[in-house]
Chains A and B, each alone.
Chain A
């Protein structure tokens, strides 16, 4: 039951998108977000959609996954769409009582909805194609320069890595404890809210105890191997940029340029 939850939602694969350097992917995702927000006309947003239309097939992540990532934010999309539609001034197309739809409102509503959908679909692609560990590695290196300002980048990255590493373990542990308590007749599925909260105690206490035990064991194991974070650590997998990174950079750059050009000259073409 709990096993069905996918956290980090990594979708293993070996496509060019998967093989991209995580640092490059993080940068390009940021560029893509910027691209979406400077796209001010419907036509320039089409460039943003085209970007996804190219990258998703290349990544071989099923379209179903993209739809699944959008599902939870449908209410937000609807809300922004409706608010934009009714509350932006312009030439009135339809009116009833205090509600009115204007041409500019309608354009903005579509623009904003498409923008949010692209935003989620684009950033989901990052987590679909990058393992959580690669992601923290990339983040650590990208934020590396902050070490000069005494920001504990390595420590934070290590904490993230450990936390991610333990999510599946703790889920499994929770599953086991739940089964064990259910075997003793614990009723987790029925009763009022107070009863349900109380029913969680037999699960949470053993879970906390085991989490602390694991943390202690891990700390001990790390110390036994002389771990001390920070300076002069080398890595087993050194991140290196390659040809695909260059290609993807050029492609994304071209899309960004496309968005800017369409923004400036596109109005004339419509």
Chain B
């Protein structure tokens, strides 16, 4: 069964004012349990609005959101239950840290769940381990850490709730390439270890091509495409026309094809491009 399902989901900002604006329009989606989904789209395409519906931070203007088959707004008082099921890491999450120590900050979520002290402890240590935080960091103030470490603490804070679905809104924004690879690697490891659903919002097609199984493309408040990575990159040209950058290697392959070489324009990994080019060279 789909872990996340939406039914005619609409959200309009500023209903009844002069600034009314539809942020997501008529979204019908089904995301299966255990999937690693990449979400791409322009700034203002509705990505952030959409993901905030999945854990009930935003209430749809119309339409329904089902998590694990349950309508999350059936009992508005119990919405917190779904916040623990669907963990959301915001953009620049390091700005939400507030506790005296890293340990306490990661424990904030699990403590809010009402777990026992031992359980909280176990989860905090596990989450900290997943993002590569060492024991020596745990007693430090989060404000003493470097930017990349702060972000890891914030991500661990959500992972520690062990949500069925983990959503990350541009977790690598503003990080150097090494920091980016490390954090994405940690997220992948978490996904493989726990077999839960991960939704990754990113501007980088390279990252999505590398880590995601499925891609959701948002354009002008609507779902443009939701399919497997290969199927989505078959639309590379349309995606590029929308102003989104397709992976560099895809662009090169499209250019080579335009020059008359027999290379698939749907190529999105360097390995596959290498094989095709070698095959072409070998065939001569």
Tell me which residues across on chain B come within 8 A of A163, comparing CB atoms: none
How far, in whole Å, are A86 and B109 apart by their CA atoms in the complex? 59
Which B residue's beta carbon lies closest to that of A184? B109
Scan residues 174-218 of chain A and give those whose CB is less than 8 A from a CB of chain B: 176-177, 179-187, 201-202, 205-206, 209-210
Scan residues 82-98 of chain B and give those whose CB is less than 8 A from a CB of chain A: 83-84, 87-90, 93, 95-98
How far, in whole Å, are A184 and B93 apart by their CA atoms in the complex? 11
A187 touches B80 (CB 8 A): yes
B108 touches A202 (CB 8 A): yes
Tell me which residues across on chain A come within 8 A of B55, comparing CB atoms: 183
Contact of A209 with B143 at beta-carbon distance under 8 Å, contacts A181-B96, A183-B90 already known: yes
How far, in whole Å, are A3 and B58 apart by their CA atoms in the complex? 13
Main DSSP-derived SS at the B contact region:
helix
B90 touches A180 (CB 8 A): yes
Scan residues 148-166 of chain B and give those whose CB is less than 8 A from a CB of chain A: 157-158, 161
- Judge if B52 is at the interface, Cβ distance under 8 Å: yes
Scan residues 110-144 of chain B and give those whose CB is less than 8 A from a CB of chain A: 112-113, 143
B143 touches A179 (CB 8 A): no
Tell me which residues across on chain B come within 8 A of A206, comparing CB atoms: 95-98
A184 touches B90 (CB 8 A): no
Scan residues 62-94 of chain B and give those whose CB is less than 8 A from a CB of chain A: 80, 83-84, 87-90, 93
B96 touches A177 (CB 8 A): yes
Instruction: Give, as a whole number of angstroms, the nearest-CB distance from B82 to chain A.
Output: 10
Give the total of A residues in contact with B, Cβ under 8 Å.
Answer: 19
B90 touches A205 (CB 8 A): no
A184 touches B57 (CB 8 A): no
Tell me which residues across on chain B come within 8 A of A183, comparing CB atoms: 55, 57, 83, 87-90, 158
How far, in whole Å, are A151 and B52 apart by their CA atoms in the complex? 49
A187 touches B57 (CB 8 A): no
Scan residues 213-240 of chain B and give those whose CB is less than 8 A from a CB of chain A: none
Tell me which residues across on chain A come within 8 A of B57, comparing CB atoms: 179, 182-183
How far, in whole Å, are A202 and B90 apart by their CA atoms in the complex? 15
A185 touches B161 (CB 8 A): yes
A185 touches B96 (CB 8 A): no
Contact of A185 with B98 at beta-carbon distance under 8 Å, contacts A179-B57, A202-B108 already known: no
Tell me which residues across on chain B come within 8 A of A210, comparing CB atoms: 95
Instruction: Give, as a whole number of angstroms, the nearest-CB distance from B61 to chain A.
Output: 15
B112 touches A177 (CB 8 A): no
Task: From the candidates A3, A179, A186, A187, name the one contacting B90 in the complex (CB within 8 A).
Answer: A179
Which A residue's beta carbon lies closest to that of B13? A3
Tell me which residues across on chain B come within 8 A of A181, comparing CB atoms: 96, 108
Tell me which residues across on chain A come within 8 A of B112, comparing CB atoms: 184-187
How far, in whole Å, are A150 and B52 apart by their CA atoms in the complex? 52
How far, in whole Å, are A206 and B90 apart by their CA atoms in the complex? 14
Which B residue's beta carbon lies closest to that of A179? B57
Tell me which residues across on chain A come within 8 A of B83, comparing CB atoms: 182-185
How far, in whole Å, are A185 and B106 apart by their CA atoms in the complex? 12
Tell me which residues across on chain A come within 8 A of B93, comparing CB atoms: 180
Instruction: Give, as a whole number of angstroms, the nearest-CB distance from A197 to chain B.
Output: 15
Which B residue's beta carbon lies closest to that of A186? B112
How far, in whole Å, are A206 and B143 apart by their CA atoms in the complex? 10
How far, in whole Å, are A183 and B87 apart by their CA atoms in the complex? 7
Instruction: Give, as a whole number of angstroms, the nearest-CB distance from B177 to chain A.
Output: 25
Which A residue's beta carbon lies closest to that of B163? A183
Which B residue's beta carbon lies closest to that of A203? B98
Chain A CB count within 10 A is highest, among B80, B84, B95, for B95
How far, in whole Å, are A202 and B96 apart by their CA atoms in the complex? 8
B90 touches A185 (CB 8 A): no
B87 touches A201 (CB 8 A): no
Which A residue's beta carbon lies closest to that of B108? A184
Add 10 more A-B contacts to A184-B157, A201-B98, A206-B95 (CB < 8 A). Answer: A177-B95, A179-B57, A180-B95, A182-B57, A183-B55, A184-B158, A185-B80, A185-B113, A202-B96, A205-B98
Closest 4 CB pairs of A and B: A185-B112, A205-B98, A180-B96, A184-B109
29 contacts between A and B (CB under 8 A): A176-B90, A176-B95, A177-B95, A177-B96, A179-B57, A180-B93, A181-B96, A182-B83, A183-B55, A183-B87, A183-B90, A183-B158, A184-B83, A184-B109, A184-B158, A184-B161, A185-B83, A185-B113, A185-B161, A186-B108, A187-B80, A202-B96, A202-B98, A202-B108, A206-B96, A206-B97, A209-B95, A209-B143, A210-B95
